Amino acid sequence: MDQLNHLMEGFAGALTLANLMWVLIGALLGTAVGVLPGLGSSMAVALLLPVTFSLDPTAAFIMFAGIYFGGMFGDSTAGILLNTPGASSAIATTFEGHKMAKSGQAARALATAAMGAFIGGLIATTLVVFFAPSLVKLATAFGPAEYFALAIFAFVAISSVVSESIIKGLSALAIGLVLALIGVDGISGTVRYTSGLPQLFDGLSIVVITVGLLALGEVLHVASRVHRDPSAMRIPTSGRIRLSGADFRKALPAWLRGTAFGLPFGVIPAGGAEIPTFLAYGTEKRLAAKRKDPEFGTTGSINGVAAPEAAGNATAGMAMGALLALGLPVSATAALMIAAFQQYGMQPGPLLFERSGDMVWTLLASLFVGLVMLLIINMQFAGLWAKLLLVPRHYLYAGITVLSMLGVYAVSSSLIDLWFLLAIGLLGFMMRRYHFPVAPVLIAVILGPLAETSLRRALTVSEGSLAYLVSSPATIIMYLLLTAAVVLTMVKHAASRRRLRAEAQVLQDS
């Protein structure tokens, strides 16, 4: 009841005309920056951080609430429309979302993503309000062995699920791990695979790899098919702008499943929302295969958009709780938020609720207000964003290329990153040409450093004993689930091959 009373007092502070205006401005600015390819929610916070320094602390953090979730809402928009997600946490949404856009369902996909972001963020923020003191127990339950098991689970599960061929999935995973090894070893300080280039000491930027594989690779792939397949340059824009009752009923279980994936990762410093979004996508893909959903992987399924989007925003909502209650930044965006708190002489953590309770509860209340505002804004703008697809294809794909280059250059101001972007784009084109899945490359690049560091720390703690890697219930459960998932996938692929051979034999006999 104490939390509820504090929250009501927070709403009293947040629901003033001035504070509502700051939430709205933050939501609009965050969404606008998040929509731009290659920038995303963390860049939205970074770019708009100086804007808030002239405001009083309460107004500044209320505006940040809008920016924080606005960037998350905007991240998936460019991915759905242009196959260029604003941030790595929106990659999984892109797979089915862009297929929906290409089949004339862009506004429907955007509305599904907006509702998923709202549901995931709402449930997470509600849990933060009532269970913030309990977050520390979940955060401390994971050690290096658990992190390594988690990374391996994500690697193999995604590689086996997103590809029709396990060999191709694992090959794509290997490509991603090779890219992840470039740079300075975080533990020993050894320089690896840089060819003597100082620009590679920090490794390849995830922005370069994401934009190159998804955006530039798609542009090259589409350009290569123009004369053989003129329809490749045409994306229809017809279709419903609103979600029907049937759509809502179909997507609701996926939203809830995605939220369940995202909640724990909001307090586990495992790199942000990438793991839960990919796991949520993989789960929906398996369920779609089980129920023989003809839309998934072809024209695009709203479940494949709903689950990852809810997972990403549930993680973001819980990350705000971990930041406020524990002072624990579990993502780049949360780390930037710590800088904002420190600018006003405040340190997130358990004492923040005692020393600045009025401001904190007003901020939490403004998160709810911001989510409602963003839902209304994005549901109304779904049709407007979809009209980007009315731009002639040659102009649109040229624009994607320019925005991709500008986005990458804006992050590092390095010309060599543009050459790496071109090389990664060519890699993405070749992978599409020979039907290799892109998702395992991305998940390997994102989680490769975490897996390597966790393995080496685990072996250091155990003095080289591999038994330490399976010494806790959490690791045993994850490895058992992984083994079961791989066996089921292999059985399914074998059955599919036998069915195809049988059909081919029937056709030959006839």
Query: In a structure prediction context, what are the per-residue pLDDT tens digits for the chain, which is 510 residues long?
Result: 577 787 888 888 778 888 888 888 888 887 777 776 555 666 666 666 666 667 777 788 788 778 877 877 777 887 788 777 766 678 888 888 888 888 888 888 888 888 888 999 899 888 888 776 566 555 566 678 887 887 787 777 667 655 667 788 888 888 988 888 888 876 777 788 887 787 777 788 777 887 788 778 878 887 787 666 554 445 554 444 567 788 888 889 999 999 998 888 777 655 567 778 888 888 888 888 888 888 887 888 899 999 999 998 888 888 777 777 766 666 656 666 776 776 677 777 667 777 777 777 888 888 888 888 888 887 777 667 666 666 676 776 787 788 778 777 876 778 888 888 899 989 989 988 888 878 788 778 877 887 888 888 888 888 888 888 888 887 888 788 778 777 776 776 677 677 777 777 776 766
Kindly tell me the sign of the dihedral angle through the C-alpha atoms of 399, 211, 43, 202. negative
Q: Which residues of 424-463 are buried (b: 16+ CB within 10 A; e: fewer)?
A: bbebbbebbeeebbbbbbbbbbbbbbbbbbbbbbbbeeee
Contact 206, 196 (CB under 8 A): no
Give the C-alpha separation, 240 to 257, whole Å: 25
- Cβ atoms of 80 and 98 closer than 8 Å: yes
Determine the 3-state secondary structure of 114 from DSSP.
helix
The tokens of 116 are what?
A: 């998923």
Task: Note whether 424 and 182 are within 8 A (CB).
Answer: no
Q: What are phi and psi of 184, to 5 degrees?
A: -85, 130
3-state SS class at 183 = strand
Length of the chain: 510
Q: Are 408 and 155 in contact (CB under 8 A)?
A: no
Helix (H) or strand (E) holding 66: helix 57-82
Beta bridge partners of 192: 183
Determine contact, residues 30/68, Cβ cutoff 8 Å.
Answer: yes
Are the beta carbons of 212 and 423 closer than 8 angstroms? yes
pLDDT of residue 233: 47
What is the C-alpha separation between 453 and 227, in angstroms, rounded? 47
Residues 209-235: b if buried by 16+ CB within 10 A, e if exposed: bbbbbbbbbbbbbbbeeeeeeeebeeb
Helix (H, G, I), strand (E, B) or coil at 400: helix
Closest alpha carbon to 75 in 104, 129, 106, 38:
38
Q: How far apart are CA 205 and CA 332, in angstroms?
A: 13
Cα–Cα distance list, 49 to 26, 32, 272 (Å): 11, 15, 20
Q: Which residues of 119-157 are buried (b: 16+ CB within 10 A; e: fewer)?
A: bbbbbbbebbbeebeebeebbeebbbbbbbbbbbbbbbb
Give the H/E segment covering residue 274: helix 274-290
Query: Which secondary-structure segment (H or E) carries 192?
Result: strand 191-192
Name the residue among 96, 113, 91 with its Cα closest to residue 299: 96
The reported pLDDT for the residue numbered 36 is 65
Residue with tokens 């089915």: 96
Give the β-pairing of 191-192 and 183-184: antiparallel
Strand partners, 191: 184
Beta bridge partners of 183: 192
Residues paired with residue 184 on neighbouring β-strands, in sequence order: 191
* 73, 114 contact by CB (below 8 A): yes
Note whether 81 and 389 are within 8 A (CB).
yes
Cα 444 to Cα 157: distance, rounded to the nearest angstrom: 12
What does the DSSP 8-state code read for residue 243? P
Helix, strand or coil for residue 184?
A: strand
C-beta of residue 38 within 8 angstroms of C-beta of residue 411:
yes
Q: Which residues contact 415 (CB under 8 A, 6 or more apart)?
A: 409
Burial class (CB in 10 A: 0-12, 13-18, 19+), 253: middle
